[in-house]
Structure 1
Amino acid sequence: MSKTQVRLGVDIGGTFTDVVLETGNDRFSTKVLTTYSAPEDAIIDGLHQVCAKSGVLASNIGQIIHGTTLATNALIERRGAKAALITTQGFRDVIEMRSESRFEQYDLNLTLPEPLLPRNRRYTLSERMDARGNVLIPLDRAEVEALADTLAAADYTSIAIGLLHSYANDAHERMIAEVLAARLPNAMISLSSEVSPQMREYERFNTTIANAYIKPLMKSYLGRLKDRLATEGAACPVFLMHSGGGIMSLESAAEFPVRLVESGPAGGAIFAADIAARHGLDKVLSFDMGGTTAKICLIKDQTPKTARVFEVARTYRFKKGSGMPISIPVIDMVEIGAGGGSLAHVDAMNQIRVGPESAGSEPGPACYGRGGDKPAVTDADLVLGKLDPKSFAGGSIPLHPYSSAAALETVIGQRLDMDATEAAWGLAEVVDENMANAARVHAVENGEDLSNYTMIAFGGAAPLHAARLCEKLGVARCLVPTGAGVGSAIGFLRAPFSFESNRSVFMRLSDFDPAKVRALFAEMEDEATRFVRSCDADATIRSDHKVYMRYSGQGWEIPIDLTAEQSANPDADTFLSLFEKDYETLFGRAVEGMEVEITVWSVNAFTDPDASGALTPLPATQQPTSGGTRNLFDPALGQRVDAAIIQRDTMQPGALAHGPAVVTEDETTIIVPSSREVIAHTDGTLDIRPTSQGDAQ
C-alpha cells in the first residue's frame, strides 16, 4: 500500500483526543484522554495505538489532518502571548467600547467581558484612510520608527496592526510591518488586512488581536508536533482543519492560527455533511456532543451553513453578544456547555443547572475515579443505565457507579430530596432540554422547521442523548454513522483543501458596476485558488461565490449564493431578485422601494470532495442477536425498563431491533428508547426511527 493511501486524522477535544487511521477502505480508531500540558503526548499515544491495531508503521503514513481546541482554549483561558495593538489615533478604545449593544437588555448589573489587551498595550499612530482607501492623513515613517523603539523596550513577543479602513488600502499597515520587522526581528506580526480584510473595525481589530495573542503558542505547539511526529517516523505533510470546513497547510496555520478556532467542531459538520450525501438527505441537523460541549449545525443540500463572524468565550449564559467576536469564515453552529463532563449544581432557586463548567479529563467526572466529586452528565448517564462501567472507551477507562451515585446524592439529592436515580433523571432532562432549546432557537433564527429534518448524531456522548433529543424536537429519524464516537477526526479526512477570500467593497445596487464586480471576483478567485494549489498542486479546484447584502440603514447583512454564471455575468436585477427571495425566507416579507447594498464579497475555492452515490434503503430482514438485558431508565416513560444489549458489529445490513435497546461499541453507546426502533444500513449506519413505522423503510 502506498503512503498516500494511509492517512491519519487527529482531533484534540476538551476531554478526549481522537485518533483515526485510514488505510484504503479500512479504518482504525482510538480515544485517549487529552494531555493539557503537552497535547502532542496524547497524539503520539493514540498514534501508537492505531498503528498497533492496523499493523501499519508510522513511516507509512502519507498525510496527517489535525484539528484542535487549543486556540479556542487559549482565548477562553486568557493564556496567550505578551501582545500589543497598533491602531489609528482615536481608535485605541474600539475593542473596549465594543458595539455598545446590550446582550441582556434588562440586567442593570451587566458586566462586559474584558478585552484581550489592556489599554496600556494599545498604541496609536497619526494616519487615516477613508472608506474607499484614499489617504486622508499620510503615515510618517519616523513616527513608526519611534513607536518601534518603544515596543522593543517593552519586550512584546507579538504585535497586532489594525488601522482604520485598511481592508480598502493596506499600504500603511505594510509600512508599519516593514519597520517592525527591521527593529523587532523576533516579534511576530499580524496585519488586519491579511487576517480579516473586512469592514467593521471592532470585529476586525479583535480578530487580529486574537491572532497575535495565540500566534506564539500555536506556532510553538505546531512546531513541536511536527518534530515529535517526525521522530516517530511520521515525517509526512501535516495539515490543519480550519473553522470554515476546509484544510490548510501547517505553515499557514502557524501564521493565521485564529482560523483554527472551532476547527474540531467544523470537522464534525463536514463528517455529517458526508453522511448526508451518502444517504441522499437534503435537510440535516448535525448533533455533535463530546466531553465538554455540544454543537448543533444545520446542513442543507449536503452543505453546512457558514457565517463570517462568530463568538468565542461567551460569558453570559451563552448569550449572543457576550463573547469575543472573531471575523473569519466559519461553519455556523450553536455551541453550548453540555458535554459528558459538564458539571451540575443546584442554584438559589432550587433548580438543577448543567454547565458550562466542565470536569474535562483532569479530574474528569466523579465516575472516572480521578478525584472528581461533582456530578457530570456522564455520571447521570452511568446511573441511568446508559453506560457499561466495564466497557467505557473500549474498556480503557473503568467507571465507578458508586462514585457517580454519591456525587449525585450529595450535590443534587440532598438539596432537592431525591435519590440518585431521580437526581440523574433531573440532570439528564435539564441537559437534553438545554440542547433541544438551543436547536429550536438556531432553527428559528434561520427560518427552518426541524420536523422536516433528519438528525445525524456523533461524538462520544451524542448517541446516548440523540433519541431523547429527537423526541423533544419532533424529529422522526436519527442516523448514527460508523465511527460516530470519533466523528470529527473522520470528518478531517473527508474535508477538502479550501480557502475563502473576502473583500469589503461597499456598493449600492443603484451604482452597480458590472466591470468592477467581475474584476473583484477574478482577483479573489485567483487568491483563493493559489492558496489551495499550494496545498495540493494536482487537485481539481472548484469555487463558490457569495455576496452579503442588506437594505440601506440596516446593521447587518444576509449571505446570497451566486451561481458561476451569475458571478461571471453580474447583473443588478439578478442580485436584487436573489436578495429579496432569501430575505423573504428569513423574515417573512421583502421591503418594497428600499435601496439595497452589498458590503462584502466572497469566493471559496476548494478541491472536489469524494463523489459517493446515495445508498439504497434496505428493508428489515433479520433480528440481531441480543447479548442479555440492561436495566435502563427511559425518561419519556419515567421508569426503568429492561433493554436488550446488542453489539453493533452483530447488526448486519437490514437488521432491525425494537426499543428499548442499548447498542454498544468501543467508542460510544447508542440508546434506543421504547418509542423507537433501529435498522442497519449497508454502510453500517444505524437508523433510529419511531416504532410506528413498523418494518417499512
Structure 2
Amino acid sequence: MKRVSVDIGGTFTDCFVVWGQQYIETKALTTHHNLAMGFNEALGKACSVLGLELEQILQSVDSVRYATTLGTNALIEHKGPKIGMLVTAGYEATVPLSRARGYGEGLDNLGQQDMPNAQRPDPLVEPHMIRGIRERLDFQGELVMPLDEEDVRRQLRELVDRGAQIIVVALVNAVVNPEHEQRIEEIVLEEYPSHLLGAIPVILSHQVAGRKGEYVRATSAIVDGYLHSTMYHALSALEQNLRTHKYDKPMLVIHNSGGMAQLNSTDALQTIHSGPVSGIGASEHLAMQASLGNVVATDMGGTSYDIGIVVEGGVKHYDFNPVIDRWLVSVPMVHLVTLGAGGGSIASYDRMYKTVKCGPESAGSDPGPACYDRGGLRPTVTDADLLLGYLDAANYAGGSIPLNPRRAKAAIEDALCDELDCSVVEAAKLIREKVDDNMANGLFTELRARGYDPKDFTMLAYGGNGPLHCCGIAQNLNIDRILAPPLSSVFSAVGAGNMHQLHIHEQSLYMVLYDSNTRHIFDDYDRFNTIVAELKEKGRQDLLRQGVPLEDIHHDLELDMRYGNQLVQTTAVIPKHEVFGPGDVLSIISQFSADYGKRFGEGSQAPEAGIRINTIRVASYARHETVQFEDIKPVPKPERTAPPAPSSHRTCHFVGHDGPFETPVWARKDLEPGIEIAGPAIVASEVTTFLVNPGWTYVTAKQGASWFLRNESAVTRH
C-alpha cells in the first residue's frame, strides 16, 4: 500500500505517508493563504526520509486524501459570499425567525440560560435577500400551485441586482418532490449560463439534506452555499497542485459522516470538522483491532481540543441534527465536541474572577505563540509549556521551529504577572492548570451527559499536544489509563488514510408500521422496498461514478423511528433491507424495541402509542485497505524492563508541586517496547512530547504506542 493522507488544521498541516511497510509522519505550519504550500512542505519532509522526489511519490501512490478545517474556520470568521435565497411565498421569515431558538443554538448551557444578554448570530443571508416565489406542493409532493416561472425570473434578477453571488433554493416539501427546485435551477442557468462570466452557483436544499424540517434544511443549504466558493477554490488549488506534480488520480476529500469521496462528489457542508472526525475514525479502528473496550478520543492540536466517544470497541455516536458554529443543520455527522483549547490558545487575565483565562481565541500559525518569534505578542499555552521546561527550544517540531524563551517570558510577564502579583513560572503553572481543567471539564460533561463514567474509559491522547497534556487532564477525571496511539501526532491524518468511500442518502416520510387505533400492521411493502431501492441506487451511482467496481459496493440500512408522536427518535440498524410480509415488519419493530430499551431502559417501550418511521437512510460504501495496528496493550508488569540512561535532564515545574524537578529526558526512538519509566519524565520525538507527570508511569508498546498508567499511590486533585 502506498498512500498520502493529510489533515490541514488551524495551526499545523499533518502528513502521513504509507510507503509499503514504512510509515512516515511529518508536520508543517499551515499556510492559510495557499494550503498547497504547507502540504508541499510537509510532504517534502517525507520525501527526504524516503530519498525520493515529490513527483515520484505522487506518481506512485494509490490515493491522496485531505481532511481539513478550512470550512469550519471560514464559517467562524464569517468570510463568505453574499447569498440570495428563494423560498416558497409566505415562508420568507422561516430562516430569520430560526424557530425562535437561534439565540441559543451553538452556545453552552450557561449562555443559553442568559436570556437578557442573548444575541442571535450575524445572519449568513440578510432578510432582504430572501425572496418568496409562487408555488406549492403538499406534504405528499402533490401539486397545489404550479411554479410561476416569470415570478422566479423577476425575483432572481432583483437578487442579482442586489449583489447576490450565490443562489440558495429551499422550497416547502422539496424533499418529497424536488421538481420545482430542479426547474428553478434550470431557469437560473438559462438566465446566467455557466459559460458566462456572470454565472452564479445554485444550491438546491433537497440535494444537501434529504430530511423534512424546513428550517434545518434551509440552514443546511445556506451553510453549504456560504462555504461553497471558499472550499471550491481552496480544494481546487490543492488538486491543481497535485496535477502540477504529476498526480493523475482523483483527489479524495474526507467527509464528516465518517467516509470520503472525490472532490466532484463533495458538498462544502460535508467537510466541516472532517479533520477531527478522521481522528475518531482512527480511534474506532484502533479500539476494534486492539480490543480496548470503551475509549474516549481526545485530539489536542494548536487551535482546538476535540472529544469523541467510541463505545464497546467500535460504536460511534452520530448527530443527525448537529449545530455547526451557531447554525442547526440536517446532515448526519459523527458526533464530536470541540473546545477552544490548544497549544495556541491565548491566555489573559480574567478581571471578574481575578485569575487566568485560556482560549477560545487562538494565535493560530501566523503569527503563532510568542515563542515562535514570528510577531506574536500575547501569551499562549505553548509559551507556558516552554517556560515550565517541557519543550526543547532548539528541537521543537524536529528543529524546524526554533523557540525563543525570552519572547515567551516577556509575553507572560506583560499580560499576567503584574495583575496576578506572581512570578513567571507561577503564571505559567496557572495557565497550564487552567487549560487542563477546561479540557477535563469538557470531557467530563460529554461523558456524563451520555450516561458514562469516565473511570470506565481508556483515554486516547493524540494530536501535537495530546501526549503533553494528557496526564493533567486524566488525573482530574480519575481516569488511570491513557494511550498515546501509534503515530499520535498525526493520528487524524492516519484516520484519513483509513477511511472508506461512503455516501449517505436519506428520505423523510410518514410511514406507520403499527397503527394503535386500528391495530393495523404496515402492509405497503412495495412502497418501503421502492424507497430503499432508490436510495441504494443513488449511493451506487455515486460510487460507480468514482470508479468503484459494482461488486465492491455495500449498503447499510437505518431507520429513524419513534413511538406515536414522541419527539425523541431512535435510529435502528436493520439487517434485512426488504420486507415481504408481516414477519419482516415485526422483525423491524423488534429491532426498534430492543434499541429503544437499551437507550432509555427496558420497559420504557410504548407500542400502544403506535410505531412509525420518519426517515429511511442508506449508507453506501466501498472498503479500502487500511493501516493495521498490532497488539499494543501494555506489557505486563513482571515483563517490563528499565530504561537506558537518559539523554539529558531538564528542570521542570509541575502543577500541584511547589519546587522544580530535575527531570530526565529520553528520545522516543531509543526506547524499545516494554520499557517502564516512572514520572516525572519527558520522552521526546520529532513531532510531539510525551510528558509523564509525578505519580504516573510511562510504558512503551509496539508500533510506537505509549501508555500512561497512574500509580495507585498517586493523589487525585479535585
Short-chain TM bin = over 0.9
| Inter-CA distance 136–370: structure 2 relative to 1 (3 Å threshold) | same
Question: Which one-letter code corresponds to 2:511 in the other structure?
Answer: M
Q: CA deviation at 1:333?
A: 0.4
Greater CA deviation, 530-539 or 38-47? 530-539
Say whether residues 1:91 and 2:94 are aligned partners: no
Which residue type is aligned with residue 304 of structure 2? Answer: T
Q: Aligned ranges for residues 138-537 of structure 1 at < 5 Å?
A: 138-154=146-162, 156-185=164-193, 186-253=199-266, 256-300=267-311, 301-313=313-325, 323-349=326-352, 350-511=354-515, 512-513=522-523, 515=525, 516-537=527-548
Structure 2 equivalent of residue 615 of structure 1: 631
Separation in 2, partners of 1:561, 1:436: 33
1:21 aligns with 2:17: yes
CA pair 655-411 structure 1, distance change in 2 beyond 3 A: same
Q: Which piece of structure 1 moves more, 187-196 or 78-87?
A: 78-87
Task: Tell me the distance in 2 between the aligned counterparts of 1:12 and 1:170.
Answer: 36
Task: Find the aligned partners of 1:577 and 1:527 in 2 and give their Cα distance.
Answer: 28
How far off is 1:359 after superposition? 0.4
Q: CA 1:141–1:347 in structure 2 vs 1: closer, same or farther (change >3 Å)? A: same
1:243–1:331 contact (8 Å) kept in structure 2: yes
Distance 2:546 2:360 in 1: 37
User: Given the alignment, which residue of 605, 617, 620 partners 1:602?
Assistant: 617
Deviation, 1:609, is 5.3
What's the secondary structure of 2:572's corresponding residue?
Answer: strand
Q: Secondary structure at the match of 2:614?
A: strand
Q: CA, structure 1 residues 167+95, in 2 after alignment: closer, same or farther (shift >3 Å)?
A: same
| Residue 691 (structure 1) shift | 3.0
Distance 1:596 1:467, change over 3 A: farther
For residues 504-544 of structure 1, the C-alpha deviation after alignment (integer angstroms, 9 at most, x for no partner) is 11233424456133332222222223323333423733332
Point out the more displaced range, 517-526 or 242-251.
517-526
Aligned to 1:109: 117
Q: 1:65-97 CA distances to partner (integer Å, 9 max, x unpaired)?
A: 011111111111121123211111121222221
The aligned counterpart of 2:100 is 100
Gaps in structure 1 of 5+ consecutive residues: 314-322
Aligned twin of 1:57: 53
Q: Give the equivalent residue in structure 2 for 1:42.
A: 38
Please say which of residues 506-515 and 353-362 is displaced more in the overlay.
Answer: 506-515
Compute the displacement of 1:299 (Å).
Answer: 0.9
- Residues 139-170 of structure 1: CA deviation (Å, up to 9, x unaligned): 12222233333344445332111111111111
Cα deviation per residue 1:118-153 (whole Å; 9 max; x = unaligned)? Answer: 012111111122222222222122222333333444
How far apart in 2 are the matches of 1:263 and 1:504? 25
Q: 1:234 to 1:656 in 2, by over 3 A?
A: same
Deviations 1:440-499 (A, max 9, x none): 221123222221111111110111111222111222211112321111112111111111
CA offsets, 1:575-631, max 9 Å, x none? Answer: 444444444444456254434443222121222354757627433332222223222
1:627–1:645 CA contact under 8 A, matched in 2: yes
Greater alpha carbon shift after TM alignment, 428-437 vs 572-581? 572-581
For 1:124 and 1:622, locate their aligned partners in 2 and report how far apart those are by CA, in whole Å: 73
After TM superposition, give the deviation of residue 231 of structure 1 in Å.
Answer: 1.6
When the two structures are superposed, what TM-score results if normalisation uses the length of structure 2? 0.90
1:317 counterpart residue number: none
Checking the alignment, whether the CA contact within 8 Å between 2:579 and 2:585 is kept in structure 1 is no
Residue 127 of structure 1 is aligned with which of 126, 135, 144?
135
Query: Compared with structure 1, are the counterparts of its residues 127 and 371 closer, same or farther at alpha carbon in structure 2 (3 Å cutoff)?
Result: same
In structure 2, distance between residues paired with 1:385 and 1:577: 59
Mean CA deviation greater in 185-194 or 103-112 = 103-112
Deviation at 1:387, TM superposition (A): 1.4
Write out per-residue CA displacement over residues 346-393 of structure 1, whole angstroms, 9 at most, x where no aligned residue: 223113221111100111111111121211111121122221111111
Deviation of 1:404 after TM superposition, in Å, equals 1.8
Q: Secondary structure at the match of 1:560?
A: strand
Please give the secondary structure, in 2, of the residue aligned with 1:510. Answer: strand
Which deviates the most, 105-114 or 7-16? 105-114
Q: Find the aligned partners of 2:707 and 2:632 in 1 and give their Cα distance.
A: 13
Three-state SS of the structure 1 residue aligned to 2:346 is strand
Change beyond 3 A, Cα 1:568–1:263: farther
Q: Which moved more, 1:142-151 or 1:376-385?
A: 142-151
Contact residue 524 and residue 602 of structure 1 kept, 8 A = yes
In structure 2, the CA distance between the partners of 1:41 and 1:571, relative to structure 1 (3 Å rule), is same
Contact kept? 1:337, 1:356, Cα under 8 Å:
yes
2:528–2:578 Cα contact (<8 Å) kept: no
1: CA distance, partners of 2:419 / 2:600 = 45
Amino acid across the alignment from 2:316: P
| Partner of residue 633, structure 1 | 653
In 1, Cα distance between the equivalents of 2:23 and 2:596? 44
Q: Percent identity?
A: 30
Q: CA deviation at 1:666?
A: 0.9
Partner of 1:80: 80
Given that 1:281 and 1:302 are in contact with CA atoms closer than 8 Å, whether structure 2 keeps it comes out as no
Residue of structure 2 in register with 1:655 after alignment:
675
Q: Confirm or deny: 8 A CA contact 2:135 2:147 kept in the other structure.
A: yes
Q: How does 1:540-559 map to 2 (within 5 A)?
A: 540-559=552-571
Structure 1 counterpart of 2:481, one-letter code: R
- Closer, same or farther in 2 for the Cα pair 1:303/1:536, shift >3 Å? farther
Other-structure match for 1:8: 4
Change in 2 beyond 3 A, CA 1:154/1:111:
closer
Summarize the Cα distance change of 1:609–1:651 in structure 2 as closer, same or farther, 3 Å threshold: farther
SS of structure 1 residue aligned to 2:704: coil
Contact 2:559-2:616 within 8 A present in 1 as well: yes
Whether the 8 Å contact between 2:487 and 2:705 is mirrored in structure 1 is no
Q: Distance in 2 between the 1:650 and 1:674 partners?
A: 22
RMSD: 2.4
8 Å Cα contact 1:521/1:603 also seen in 2: yes
- Distance in 1 of aligned mates of 2:528 and 2:227: 35
Moved more, 461-470 or 218-227: 218-227
Aligned-pair CA distance for 1:679: 1.8
Aligned length: 679
